Structure formats: C-alpha cells, structure tokens
Structure 1
Amino acid sequence: MSEEIDTVLAAVGPRLRALRRQRGATLAAVSAETGISESTLSRLESGQRRPNLELLLPLSRAYDVPLDDLVGAPRTGDPRVHLHPVHRYGMTFVPLTRRPGGMHAYKMLIPAGGPAEPTPQTHSGYEWLYVLNGTLRLVVGDRDLTLPPGEAAEFDTTEPHWLGSADGRAVELVILFGLQGERVHVRSRDGDQP
C-alpha cells in the first residue's frame, strides 16, 4: 500500500476518538449503537486496528458525518455544495448544514395542495422556523397558529406538532433544529440578548 494511503488511514483513529469525545460518548455507548465491540473501537482509535468500510460505515452513521470526513478524503476540484433533499411526510427538506451534532439548518418546502388534516408528531429536539414564502399553519399542542412570510416560531419538538399550508398554496421556510434541545439565541439590534 502506498505511503499516502498509510498516512490517511493512520489519521482515522485520532479523528474517531475526537468525534466520540466531542459528543461526550463512551466506547460502550458507541459500541451499543454500532454493534462494534468496545475493544475493536479502542484499537481503531489507538491505531492498532486498520479501518475498513465494515467498521467505518456504522461509525459514519452513528456520528452523523460523511465517510469522507472520517477518513479525511481530499476535496475534489468542484467547489459547489451538492445538497441532497430528503422527502418526508409529503414535504421536502434541503439540508443547509453538514456538521455533526449541534444545530442543523434546513430549507423546507411544503407543496401546494388541498387542506390537510393535522397529524401531530413528536421527536427529540427543539425547533426554530422562519416563513420565507406562503402562509404556514403550525399546530403545537393545543395551539393552532397561522404564520405569514416574515414570521418566526420556536417550540420543543417533544410537544405534539404539525406543519402545513394554511391556504393550500406552497410554503417555503427555514428551520434550525437542535436534536439535543439546542436553542437559537437571538440578539436585538444593539447586540444585547433579549
């Protein structure tokens, strides 16, 4: 194997250890999530075990980072960001961030269509949203709100919630989401916190 490949593979262990520590995870927790034994994880992190796809793919999913970031793959010559939309619940989510953990930003598109019956869902996290275009119907708990363009809302996603079009037209919004309950910190114009 070439010296360049050996150098790249040698850097994987410290990168894995740093990701795990950054998240405050133990080897036992990562082992439970990935199915990789603690001893194998420890040997990977210390460089005593060569990384392979069978080990790196589950770790990439567990740490929510692209495989390229785990191995430190060089960037290609194309500087464009290639966003990969996700389609769920009849809506389109375009990820605007790629960082592991912390806050994630999405552009969300709700297509035009007839009025939908709210089906509130819950999940871990905290969400802040801002309506760009269209009129959003937001149901959070027992509150049923209508938000025109330029309005924002924030809520704990463990509370039953639903987003849809208020008038059957398409809605476009930006969402900041923290899986661990991270919240957006808004400052007033003079720089002081509200």
Structure 2
Amino acid sequence: MSQSKRQSSDNAIGARLREWRSEKGMTLAAVSARTGVASSTLSKIENELVSVSYYTLKRICDGLDIPIEEIINPDHKTFAPGRRAVTRANEGTVFRCSQYVYETHSTELSRKEMIPLIMTVLARTPDDFEDWNRHDGEEFILVLDGEIDFYSEFYAPVKLKRGDSVYFDSSMGHMCCSSSEEPAKMVSVCYDPRAHQQQDVSEFFSSGRLTVVRAE
C-alpha cells in the first residue's frame, strides 16, 4: 500500500465523524453532552483543523456507543465466532496527533476486546500533553525501538528501553515521551471492557495497577 493511501485515513476521520453525526441527526452540542468532548473541539476535528488522538477518538466512540472501527475503517465486520484478521506490514490504518502516530491493526473487525496499535512516540516531555491520557480497561506496552519515559498518575516516571514492557490500568492517567534521539516506537494493546457489555469484567481490575517487565 502506498504511503499516500495509508495516510488518507488520517484525513478521513473528521469527515466520517461528521457523516455519522449528520446521519443520526445529532448536533455538535448533543455529541458533546454524550462524550464530554467540547463542541469546539468536535467541530475542529470534523473540519480537520486539529488532529485527533486515539484517546479522544475512543472517548467519542464510547460516548456514542459505536465501535472505534466505525470511524477508522467503515468496511469493518462485527463480531462472529471463529473470526480472524491478518494485517500485513505497512498496511495498518494510520492516523496521528501531535504526541503520537498510530498504526492500527485488525481494523476490519469491530467489538474487539483488544485494540492493537503500533505507535511512534513524538512527544518529548509531559508539557507536550494538555492532560493525562486515560480510557477504560487495561493496556500493555512493549518498546520496539528507542527509549520511552513512561509517566503515570500514581507512580514515579520509569524509563523503558527496547524490549521492556509495562502493563497498567489505563483508567489511570498516563503518557509516553521519547527520550531517545529518534522518536521511539512501541506496541500498544488496549483491553476494552466495553466490547462485550454483557461480560462482568470487574473481577479483573484493581485501581491503579502497573507492572514493568525489563528486557534481559
């Protein structure tokens, strides 16, 4: 897949959000009330005046009770037993914000309990963020290249090098910053408890958990 085609998804997110809202007959104010994202921010996203982070996009989709794949990949499939998805190298759907570049995998399947991402970390300091990132569920991060300073709400910052990983409660505020010369790259797998609302996942969580595993 060409670079220009891969990047086209970045510009389509705002248009798809606007199209979905128009089809449902919802105003920006109504979407804001359901998602907690300001109407002015929603308008800027829809008109491609600002880029949207995964965390903001997930917040919007959760508030509207739609799969994130509805916006990232309109050709996605709903849940079915025995489903499978293969994403070839450099063929993930790409979008970005000022802190991260996201390459999303398995976007043809919706209502996934795990959301896999390859992320390039552009942020260099916590000042590059307006606020903590946070979303329901748990998250696993594995550093592929470079070094990352991992910040979290209830723990001291920790440096992660290639091969190191961290598993944490993602409702706890968190952010990643590159501390290597080149932007770091990492795998992020987010567990989404909303994927199957009928399942009782409360037993799997304790607030603010974090585990770091060092590379040998």
| TM-score of the two chains, using structure 2 as the length reference | 0.46
Deviation >3 Å, runs of 4+: 63-71, 79-82, 113-116
CA distance in 1, matches of 2:75, 2:163: 37
1:129 — aligned with what?
A: 141
- What is the CA-CA distance between 1:116 and the residue it aligns to? 4.6
Which residue of the partner structure matches residue 110 of structure 1? Answer: 121
Cα distance, 1:35 vs. partner?
A: 5.1
State the SS of the aligned residue for 2:75: helix
| CA root-mean-square deviation | 3.4
Q: Deviations over 1:130-189 (max 9, x none)?
A: 001110010112321000100000111111111111245310101111121888xxxxxx
Q: 2:74 aligned with 1:62, yes or no?
A: no
* Letter of the 1:68 counterpart: D
Question: Does 2:173 align with 1:160?
Answer: yes
Partner of 2:100: 91
**Cα gap change, 1:157/1:89 in structure 2, threshold over 3 Å: closer, same or farther?**
farther
Q: Per the alignment, do residues 178 and 114 of structure 1 end up closer, same or farther by CA in structure 2, a change over 3 Å counting?
A: closer
1:116-138 deviation line (CA, Å, top 9, x unaligned)? 53642222121101001110010
Specify the structure having the higher radius of gyration (Cα): 1
Residue 174 in structure 1 maps to residue 187 in structure 2? yes
Is the CA contact (8 Å cut-off) linking 2:126 and 2:175 kept in structure 1? Answer: no
8 Å contact from structure 2 (residues 93, 105) kept in 1: no
Asked whether the equivalents of residues 127 and 175 of structure 1 are also in contact (C-alpha less than 8 Å), the reply is yes
Task: Give matches, 1:19-38, under 5 Å.
Answer: none
Q: Which amino acid aligns with 2:174?
A: H
Aligned length: 119
Provide structure 2 residue ranges, at least 5 long, that are not aligned to the other structure: 1-22, 26-60, 79-86, 195-200, 205-216
Contact 1:91 1:110 in 2 (8 A): yes
Does the Cα contact within 8 Å between 2:146 and 2:161 map onto a contact in 1? Answer: yes
Structure 1 unaligned residues grouped into runs of 5+: 1-33, 37-57, 72-78, 184-194
